[in-house]
Amino acid sequence: MFLKNTLKFYKLLIFLIFLSFINSSCSRSNNSKKISLASSGKIESLDPARINTIKALQIISSLGDTLYEFSNEGQLVPKLASDMPIFSEDKLTIHINLREDVFFHDGTKFDSNAMKFTINRFKKIGTTNYILGNKIKSIETPSKYKLIIKLNKPSSSIEGLLTSLNLTPLSPEFYKDFNDKFLNDEFVGTGKYILKKFSNDIQILEPNIKYWGRSPINDGINIIGYSNSNSLYGALKSKQVDVLLSNSIDDSQRYKLRSLSENQKIKEGRSAPNEISFISLRTNKKPFNNLNIRRAIAKSLNRELISKKVSYGLREPAKSIVPSKFKKDIIVSWPSYNINEAKNLLRGEGFCDGKILKFPLTYRSNVPTDKLVALAWQQDINSSMEDCIYMEIYGVESTTIYKNLSEGIYTAVILDWIGAYSDPEAYLKPLLSCDKFEKNICIEGQSVFSGSFWASKDVEALFLGSDSNYGMDRLNKLIKIEQIASESIPYIPIWISSQKAWSQKNISMPVFNGGGQIIMSELRHIDE
Amino acid sequence: MNRNFNKTVKYSFIKILLIPISLWIIASLVFLLLRIAPGDPVDAILGSGATLEAREILRNNLGLNESIPIQYLTFLKNLSHFNLGISLSNQEPVMEIIRESLPASIELGLVSFIVAICMGFPIGYIGLKNKDKKLDLVSRIIGISSYAIPPFWGAMMAQLLFSIIIRIFPIGGRFPIFQDQPSVTGFIIIDSILNNNISALIGSLYHIALPALTLGFLLSGIFSRSFRLNLEKSYQSDYVEAAICRGINDKNILLKYALPNSLLPILTLSGVTIASLAGGALLIEITFSWPGIALRLQEAIFQRDYNLVQGIVIVTSFLVVSLNLIVDILIALFDPRIKF
């Protein structure tokens, strides 16, 4: 009797829960005009001075506008500026005219003071304010819609910096109490969307009906963060979200998504490649202080094989540390895979035939792809160069690696890099520049923080020269820098990746801008 | 009874006095271990591309350039004023971050605990009532397999089956993204009831169902096995035999004689389970993207957010210590055999 009553209670409970879920599932369809977008992880902050994660940058690009942006062809295009920047003859002053029809989300008008406020705030509290370096001397606002930026020295990369999302203009009125501290959970900019709700894992964007340009063609974007790759994949597969935007999804799932898109069950959009994966070689100590050994190791890396094994061929093998779109497709070729040449080089240095070159390769244990790259390369070396090279692999958490890179702890380490702004310099300087060096060893500077400790007098001279050059002259100097590096091999490029997004069949294909951000305003339901 | 009650009060008082000492030891250990761990918040925030100068400025701003003893003294001073500091990664008060994520973990923990009890007790009871029959074998298999299944695997399978294949549950999250989340206490189910918001209540139940059922199922085995064992022991006791001889019916024997005594050991087990759930169920929270305290702690560890890690550990330790004390007191009150 007691058992029967209990069973009745359970049946009733299950029935009620089932009813409530049916109700809940139905209520989702009531909201179908908004686009739901899933992405990996949480967002700590939407303050442009604070952000440095890809996801936060993606959202800021929809909530705000920059002065300029790069087109997909790599051309500078005015956005909040009304025309192209005008440089003085000595290249120390930039005149920028601003649009006069732009309003912030709080109703105040965008003007030169707002831009000055934003740049100064970023200089003061920006966590990545080092990208400005010591370039900007002062900012003047001679009129409401005219901005004058005075530089300490000529800097051609300033154009790229003006496209940086970290310099997305903020309303001085709204941020007046946050001039010297972050405002993490609110955003008042000029963009196509207004932030309606912010939490670490959910962000709701609504169209800005007073936007100065073309308004979004959807009713808003609901962004949700999932903490693992399986959930992201599952959310798209089970149609619980309209769009999946993630570069941290596992390669096996990327492959399945690619198959689905080839079978036209979903749509795949991708940006121009902008994320470089590479191996940093410590050039100030044995064994990689020897150029021939570096050459041999570089020639032992079978990029095609690794790309095929690890990413199912979805990541493009790269023999450059700068995305080709920034170099007008001029090819700078780093050493190619050639096992015989690698062996000959090692034999020349007394290895092989009984003496084996041993070295450790470190990978970031919290980046699954890095481990697979290390394992694939190790396996390849074991099968083809067993008599010459013995490579041990170690996984270390990324934060620990970043801390120890400048200590010179890692002989070889797998890393990746995305330029902070769309410019070749944003890839070359963080990897190759050096402030203080002896012979070819960097003592202080960016290459120390990248773990290579490599320096070149010629490269420093070219960096200096490139700052005062523009157009092709500047590009040629930057290409020359990469050529010098490709001959010295402080790094071994592995592959270059794109940002990717996938949408359901009834949603338009995701499109990316020149900076690698998804254009959320172009997402729409096709049946609308 | 009165004398025992006084002793229990005295025991509780001593235990309460010991809580700050326990917390001080835990806080000091966490402080020390975090400083020993390689990497620091500056590297986590800036990555590998920042200049030495930028690193130094940020390190200085975050107060990490102070010597370890000075940092420790500042930490203790703040702690004595119940100030857990500011998160190093987003500059928000640690207490505020905990206030946002802790209810999610407690809510999931409590609902899972109820599910575990609702699953575990009937399974244990059915097994005992059908001793050495097929149903007993089934209940034993369910009981043992539920706590033998690794939580991450169980959670992933549940997600695959119910969210992706059958599609009756959401894949993750705590609340429907398109609904306005009621905000009073931070416990969404309670807040929905307080606001009389039925759709929010259904939305929150819809989201908590799968993680709670999964976690509840994984925990149910301990309860079913324990319940079966203790109930069997009670049925074999003299007082139950005496009750049977007096002609008392099965229902009353179960509810008035066997059950109360068999529940006492389970009270201890429940206390330990709830205390462990107060700190969040990390693998379940990760799999179901549940924005709880365990997930927050994991992120804070990756970001080397010293203050946040310290704060979360101290608060969850406080909860664990307090819950254990409450369980001790409850057992002393309910079980006359326990004397302090």
- Chain B residue numbers touching A128 (CB-CB < 8 A): 46, 50, 54
* Interatomic CA distance for residues B154 and B204, integer angstroms: 22
Residues A305 and A453 in one domain: yes
Query: Which pLDDT score is estimated for A369?
Result: 92
Residues comprising chain B, all counted = 340
Tell me: do A298 and A155 sit in the same domain.
Answer: no
Residue of B nearest to A220 (CA): B178
Q: Residue A48 is part of a domain; what is its CATH number?
A: 3.40.190.10
Confidence tier at A26 by pLDDT (50, 70, 90): very low
Considering only residues 64 to 103 of chain A, which have any Cβ-Cβ distance to chain B shorter than 8 Å?
A: none
pLDDT digits (tens, 9 = 90+) for A96-114: 999 999 999 999 999 999 9
Same domain (yes/no): B34, B141: no
Asked whether residue A279 is domain-assigned, the answer is yes
Q: Which of A169, A199, A219 is the last residue of a domain?
A: A169
Contact check, Cβ <8 Å, B250/A234: no
Q: Give yes or no: residues B72 and B139 share one domain.
A: no
B167 vs A235: CB contact, 8 Å cut-off? no
Chain A, nearest residue to B285 by Cα: A227
Same domain, yes or no: B205 and B181: yes
**Inside any domain, residue A218:** yes
CA distance A84 to chain B (A): 29
Task: Return the residue in A37, A166, A201, A205 with the most chain B beta carbons within 10 A, the one to mutate for interface testing.
Answer: A201
Q: Give the domain range for residue A113.
A: 77-169
Least confident of A27-41, A60-74, A162-176, A481-495: A27-41
Q: Are residues B123 and B184 both part of a single domain?
A: yes
Position A123 pLDDT exceeds 70:
yes
Q: What percent of chain A has pLDDT over 90?
A: 62
State the pLDDT at residue A233. Answer: 93
CB contact residues (below 8 A), chain A span 449-488, against chain B? 449-451
Residues of chain B in contact with residue A56, where contact means CB-CB under 8 angstroms, are: none
Beta-carbon separation of B295 and A128 below 8 A: no
DSSP label at residue A305 = H
Mean pLDDT over A398-423 rounds to: 89
Q: Are residue A142 and residue A195 in the same domain, yes or no?
A: no
Q: Which residues of B touch A227 (CB under 8 A)?
A: 172, 285-287, 289, 295
Question: Which positions in chain B touch A400 (Cβ < 8 Å)?
Answer: 37-39
The answer on B324 and B178 residing in a single domain is no
Print burial letters for B15-34: b (CB count within 10 Å at least 16), e (below 16): beeeeeeebeebbeebbeeb
Residue A92: CATH number of its domain? 3.90.76.10
Mean pLDDT per 10-residue segment, chain B (340 residues): 71 86 93 86 74 78 86 91 87 90 93 93 91 90 89 92 92 86 89 92 94 94 91 89 88 86 85 80 90 91 90 92 86 74
Asked, for residue A225, whether it belongs to a domain, the answer is: yes
State whether B108 and B181 are in the same domain.
yes
Same structural domain, B318 and B190: no
Report yes or no on A423 lying in a domain. yes
Mean pLDDT of A505-522: 92
Q: How far is A352 from chain B (nearest CA, A)?
A: 35
Q: Do A130 and B89 touch (CB under 8 A)?
A: no
Mutation target to probe the A interface, by most A beta carbons within 10 A, among B43, B46, B48 is: B48
Residues A225 and A325 in one domain: no
Contact A238/B at CB under 8 A: yes
- ipTM > 0.85 (yes/no): no
In a domain, B121, yes or no: yes
Residues from chain A contacting residue B122 (CB–CB below 8 Å): 6, 10
**CB nearest to A403's CB, from B38, B178, B287:** B38
Give the number of domains in chain A: 3
Asked if B40 and A225 come within 8 Å (Cβ–Cβ), the reply is no
Q: What count of Cα atoms within 13 Å lies in the side-chain half-sphere of residue A382?
A: 9
pLDDT over 70 percentage in chain A: 93
Identify the pLDDT of residue A264: 92
Tell me if A10 is assigned to some domain: no
**B118 and B54 within one domain:** no
User: Tens digits of per-residue pLDDT, A359-370?
Assistant: 999 999 988 899
Q: What is the pLDDT of residue A472?
A: 85
Nearest by CB to A234, from B125, B171, B175: name it. B171
Domain count within chain B: 2
Same domain, A196 and A329: no
Q: Cβ separation of A34 and B172 shorter than 8 Å?
A: no
On whether both B287 and B315 belong to a single domain, the answer is no
Residue A14 lies in a domain: no
Give residue B44's pLDDT: 76
A371 shares a domain with A250: no
Is B168 within 8 Å of A21 when comparing Cβ atoms? yes
Q: Is the residue at B297 inside a domain?
A: no
Closest Cα in chain B, distance from residue A7 (Å): 9
Same domain, yes or no: A444 and A300: yes
Domain encompassing residue B333: 1-89+303-340
Same domain, B231 and B268: yes
Q: List, in order, residues 6 or more apart from A290 with CB less than 8 Å away.
A: A349
pLDDT tens, residue by residue, A248-260: 788 899 999 999 9
Residues A241 and A332 in one domain: no
Phi, psi values for residue A287, rounded to 5°: -90, -10
- State whether A237 and A384 are in the same domain: no
Residue A145 has pLDDT above 80, yes or no: yes
Rg, Å, chain A Cα set: 26
What pLDDT score does B124 carry?
Answer: 92
A286: in domain: yes
State how far the Cα of B214 lies from the Cα of B206, in Å rounded to an integer. Answer: 14
Of the candidates B49, B90, B172, which has its C-beta nearest A226's C-beta? B172
What is the mean pLDDT of the segment spanning A463-482? Answer: 86
Q: Which residues of A touch B286 (CB under 8 A)?
A: 227-228
Nearest to B170 among A31, A240, A451 (CB): A240
- Flag whether the pTM goes above 0.90: no
A267 and A401 inside one domain: no
Could you tell me if A14 lies within 8 Å of chain B, comparing CB atoms? no
- Return the pLDDT at A27: 44
Residue A138 backbone dihedrals phi, psi, to 5 degrees: -160, 165
Same-domain status, A526 and A485:
no
Q: What pLDDT band is residue A20 in, cutting at 50, 70 and 90? A: low
Which residues from A are below 8 Å from B167, CB to CB? 238-240
Distance, CA of B311 to CA of B83 (rounded, Å): 9
Tens digit of each residue's pLDDT (9 = 90 or more) over A272-293: 888 999 999 999 999 999 999 9
- Within 118-147 of A, beta carbons closer than 8 Å to B belong to 127-130, 133
Q: Residue A91's pLDDT is what?
A: 85
Residue B171 in domain: yes
pLDDT at A392: 95
Q: Please indicate, yes or no, whether residues B136 and B181 belong to a single structural domain of this protein.
A: yes
Residue B77 and residue B186 in one domain:
no
Our measurement of the distance from residue A347's CA atom to the centroid of its chain's CA atoms, rounded to an integer in Å, reads: 40
B7 or A137, which is more confident? A137
A/B interface, count of CB pairs below 8 Å: 166
Which residues in chain A have Cβ-Cβ distances shorter than 8 Å to B44? 399, 402
Contact A224 B299 (CB under 8 A): no
- Nearest CB to A399 within list B44, B92, B199: B44
Tell whether B95 is covered by a domain.
no
Reported as a pLDDT band with limits 50, 70 and 90, residue A30 is very low
SS3 at position B48: coil
Supply the CATH number for residue B158's domain: 1.10.3720.10
On whether residue A186 sits in a domain, the answer given is no
B254: left (phi over 0), alpha (psi -120 to 50) or beta: alpha
Is it the case that residue A17 has pLDDT exceeding 80?
A: no
Say yes or no: A452 and A325 in one domain: yes
Q: Is A502 helix (H, G, I), strand (E, B) or coil?
A: strand
DSSP state letters, B68-134: HHHHHHHHHHHHHTT---B-TTT--BHHHHHHHHHHHHHHHHHHHHHHHHHHHHHHHHHHHHTTTSH
